Structures are given as structure tokens and as C-alpha cells.
Structure 1
Amino acid sequence: MTTILHIDSSILGDVSISRLLTAEIVARESALHPGARVIRRDLVADAALHLSDAHLAAFQGGEVASPALGEDLAVGGAYIDDLFAADIIVIGAPMYNFSIPSQLKGWIDRICVAGRTFRYGANGPESLLSPGKKVFIAATRGGIYTGDSPAAALEHHESYLRGVLGFIGLGDITVIRAEGLNLGEAPKAAAIAQAKAQIESLAA
């Protein structure tokens, strides 16, 4: 049975375009894989704590200093379990201040754990995840950061996600992009329509 991990990180709730697109990607992938199980993670509604010295000490075998830390370590462990279970990973990633939301960065910090999702071998980092996982990123941005846009040098959004996910072996990445969302109603509608058409064209 196919397992789909559905992750959202936008703080905009029902008006979020990235949440709209992740829902449509999950619906499309569920149609392509009948009977698929969906694991849902809303990183805004149920966020893990950001990393601290206490987390790092616990990772290295030290004492778990408080019940709250123990509960949060369990959340981080569940994030990693999600990743191992998933065949398809759908990530909603709006651009905030030229990069990803801190909620999504918090998730990344909890899944990029040496000895759990990767290790350092003789030839550098090696993934500990099962091969063949597919990643779909719903990337939304207010401006234009592709092509010869003057803002292209400020894009630390998709490029960061491709880099960090690739580091742990998630290299099969498809980006569903809607940008220029703050440039007026017509450009916004066109960008969303283009992203939806890309989703509709996805094949198994």
C-alpha cells in the first residue's frame, strides 16, 4: 500500500495557496494510487520545538531534562518514522523573507539526524532512507524569482529544499510552483491555474 506524507507549513490557514496546492497534489496522488494511506502533519497547528542544547544532549545519549523535552523528542522521532513510512512526500512551502517558514525549518532540523536518516561514510554522506521515495513541493511566492528576474539571487527557497532533502537521499523532487502571487489578481490567477494544470498532468 502506498503511503503519502502530507506536510503543510503556511501560517495563512484557509487562504493559503500552498495549502490549496498540497491538498490537490495529495488528491491527485491518491487517485493515482487507490487505497493510499495519508499521514498528515500541520507544522503550524502542531509544531515541534526548535532545536536546543537540551535536544542535542539527548541525541548524544544524555539525560532528558524534562517531561516537555521528552514529549518533544517523541514528536521529532515520529517525524522520522513518517519519513521512513512514506513512499510519496508532499510539502507545502511558501516563501517567507526569501526562504522557507521557520515551522518547516524546524521539521527539517528534526529529520536531518546523523545515524537516523543519514550517516557519514568513506565517500561522504549516505542516506539511510529507503530509495525510490518521491517528493512534491508546492512552492508559493509573492514575487518572481525564476529566469532572469532581478530577484533571482534572493531565492533561498526551492534551492535550499532541493539541497537539504537531497542530502538525506530525497533526490526525486518535483516542484509545483506558483509565483508572482502578490503582483495583482490576474498574475495570481494565472500562476494558480498553471500550478493546478501541472498537478492534473502528474502521472504515477
Structure 2
Amino acid sequence: MSDHSTAKPRAGLLKWALWGAAGLGVAAVVYIMVQASTNPTRDAGLKPLARGEMAKLTTPAEATAAPANSFYDAAGKPVRLADFKGKVVVLNMWATWCGPCIIEMPTLAKLQTSYAGKPVEVVAVSIDGEKDQDKARQFIGQHAPLKFYADPKFKLPFAFTPPATGMPTTVIFGPEGVERGRLAGGADWSTPEARAVIDHVLAEG
């Protein structure tokens, strides 16, 4: 009889333990849902857009502010990415010795034209050395009517985390100045896939 009487409390304890575990599971699911709704990860919205010409697009693991490093405009005036705050910035680091850079540059100019009148700025920064700056400026003027920017000391690419060591590299910043996406290598920026990415970042601004 003692064995039978001790079995009942054990069964009761097991029942309560199972109910407790189920309750914790439900609570965990609710917590995750609440966190997802109150702290949405905007980068998750870009990941489904990484297709076609944007297939190589990656999103940062955590919000990263734009580097504070200066580069130079056509007049030799120092410029920082913070100067473009309030706009979606499509920063492209390129060089005249880079074949894919030369091929994609006119498509970046088309992207800029398609957003005329909207807070979107294509910032093409040449990393050509001092002796090749005139060549880079001439190329922009003839083949890709964009504002000319230069980083002849090749410092800006290494100011990113991780560094943007390959050319071309295009980094997309939201209006708040935070990196939203990055694409290493050449791409056609005049495609619907590219505009879908920019539209998404623009809509969230």
C-alpha cells in the first residue's frame, strides 16, 4: 500500500512539471513575438531583396554608423558621410584600374537619375592615387554624370567594419547614417532589383 500511495504524489508532481514546462514554452513564444514586434530588425527586410543583380547584397549583423573619415569633392573640400544625413546614400568606392567599376559606373548614374527630386544620393568615391585623379575625374564627366569625390590616400575603405578591401564595393546607408547593406563586386544598379532595395530603405526613413 505504501508503494501505491507514493506513486500518486509522484504522478501529481510529474503532471505539474509538464504543465509548468508547457507554460514556460508558451511564455517564451509570447516573449519572442513581443520582442519582434517592438524591436523589428529592419535588415531582415532587405534580405529577401538580395536576388538578381542584388544577389551579393549582405546586411550587417548590428547597426554600424558611417565612418567619420573625410574624402574630397571636386573642389578639394573635405567631405564626410555625415554631411549626407537625412538621405539614403549609395556609397560606391571605385577606381579607373578596376574593370567591374568602369562597367557599373554608368548604371549608378542611371540610379541617381531615377531618384531625381528624392532624398537619395549616389556618392561615387574614386580611390585612384594622386597621379590618376584627373583620369578618374575625366571618366566621371564623360561616362557617368555624377558628382566627383576622391580618396587618393585609400583610407575610407579601411574605415569600415569589416574593411571594404575589394573594388568596387557599394555600401547603402539609411537616412539616419547607419549602414543598411553592402555589395562587394560589380552590379547593374539600374535594374528593378536595385531600385527595390533603395525603395525599401527610403520607405523606412
Smaller-chain TM-score range? under 0.3
* Bigger share in helix: 2
TM-score (structure 2 length as normaliser):
0.27
Question: TM-score under structure 1 normalisation?
Answer: 0.27
Q: Which has the higher contact order (CA 8 A, sep 6+)?
A: 2
